[in-house]
Structures are given as C-alpha cells and as structure tokens.
Structure 1
Amino acid sequence: MNDFSRHILIILPSLILANVIHMLIVKYNFVPVLNKCISVKYFGENKKWRGFIIVPFLNSIFLVGLNSFLNLENPIFLGFILGLAYMAFELPNSFFKRKLGIKPGESALNKKYFFVMLDKIDSAFGVALVYYLLGCVNFSTAILLLFVNSLTHILMSLVLVSLKIKSSF
C-alpha cells in the first residue's frame, strides 16, 4: 500500500462510519440527553453537543479497529482529534451563516453555490489541516487529502440523502 492510500485509510473509513452513525442517532433521537444546542445565537439550532461527543468517540473506536492494518502509535488520540476537527470546522460556517441571517439547514439564495461548496469542504479542510499540523503529512499531501475528503463528503451526502438518512444535500 502506498503512503497516500494509507492516509486515506486512516482518515476516511472511520470518519464515514462515525458520521453515518451520528446521522442515524440524530434522525432517531438516540441519546437525547446530549441533544443540547452549543449556541443557538452563534451556530443555530442544528449544532449540538451530541455530535462533538459522539463523532470523536466513534472515530476513535473505528480507528482502533483499523489499527491492525495501519500500525498507528496512538489511534485513540488520532481518532478523537480528527473526529473533533471534523465537528469543530463546521462551526465557523454556521457562525458566518447566522451572521448573514441564513437559517440553519438553509442556504442564501444569492450565494447558494458558495454555501453548498463551503458546507462540503469545511470539515474536510479541518481534518486535512489538523492531520498536517500533527505532522502526519506534508503540505501537498494535505491539499490532496482536502480534495479527496471533499469529494467523498459530496458523494456520501448524495448517498445519504437518497437513502433518506440525511434530509438535505
């Protein structure tokens, strides 16, 4: 397995599984005790503490499961940090949209494509940036990971909307 494939295996499978399970938890309102808004004023009604706890936790578990193939030094830490980065980098976009008066889950009509694109690259950017800052990859590999992560996010959104797990693209 080449180096880039290994980085894809470190990042994508565990984050995909963690996020799909998180979406199912949201859809069926499991763990309602964590269904608390972080800040309606700053991020809207869709950003909950549940995601910040569940996604990093699940990502850690799944990365530990993959570790027999990957031989990572600390898969629990890396899984948690990447899951947290995924969630945290969704917040600036939500904050920006609230400041523009755009409601949670909606896009501005005059800037629709900008926000659709931003919605698909924000978390991918965060994961690639944190992975780079941890010294796991060089800058050019981080940029390539950003591209692959963003495309994967777009494809997964299409699949999840078609399966009615996710309500909107």
Structure 2
Amino acid sequence: MIVVLAVLAGVFAYLYLEADEAKSVLENDAAQRAAAAKAASDYTTRSLTYSYQNTDAFFAAVKEDAGEALVKRYDEVRPTLTQIIQQAQVQASGRVLATSVTGDTGDTGDTGDTGDTGDTGDTDEEYTVMVFASQKTQNVQNPQPSELPTLLKVVVTKTAQGWQIQDYGPAE
C-alpha cells in the first residue's frame, strides 16, 4: 500500500512539474509575442510620422532599431524621398490600430549546421507582425488632412541588444 501511494505521489509530482513547465513555456511565448508586437507597433508609428520641416528626424527615427538591410534601403531612397516630402510640404502622423503576431520562425541564427552550439535561446527569435495602422496626411495640394488605413508586415528579431526591425512594408 505504501509503495502504491509513493508511486502515485511520484506520478502526480511528475505530471504537476510537466504542467508547470508547459505553462511557463506558454507564458514566455505570450510575453515574447507581446514584445514583438510592441516593437513593430512603435516602429510603425515612427515610420508613418514625419514632417517636411525636419526630414532628418524622420530618417533618424526609422533607422533606430532597424536591421542593416532596412537601414540600407532608407539610405538609398533618402534623397528622393526627402525631395518629394519637402516639395509637397507633407506632414503625416501615424497611429497603430491593431497588431497580430502571425509567426515565430524560431531561431533564425541556425544555418542548419549541426555544430552550432552558441544558441542561448535568448536571441534570434524572429516574429512576423501584421500591423493595421492609419496615417493622417496633408500637403500643399491637400491642405485638409485625410486619413487612410494601411496594413503593414513587420518582421522583428529579438537580438542580444533588444528588438530589431528586419523588414517593413505593405502586406501582400
């Protein structure tokens, strides 16, 4: 009888620990998804908000927390975009209405090599976030502000330095 009780206690303890571990994994995943959504939301707001009076501030804002490839894209379009914004005297402000984290590709640092032992589990988590936002704009030709909705796809990666925006653009 004592042996049966001991076995049952062991089984229940094991099941409890398994359930507690599963709960921790789910809570951590939810926290990571929420952080990815916040990073995407903050970046979207910065990218949809600009003024012809200070394009330098806009480009500084969109480069903040941006990955190398995204920074390069902004550097390439900066002269043309600056000219358009300034000539049309564009003022824009963005706001995020909703986000949806559609995926976690897991460890993006894994190249498939079996010798990769540097993964700590704390970095290189990549999430795709769909961001539904609205941008209010006005310019010389349209002095009355108009507001348009937009759906954007934002790819964010958790790095050792924090959340980094890898890709940003219209949802397809």
After TM superposition, the score normalised by the length of structure 2 is 0.25
* Larger Rg, first or second structure (1 or 2): 2
After TM superposition, the score normalised by the length of structure 1 is 0.25
**Higher-RCO chain (CA-CA 8 Å, sequence separation at least 6):** 2
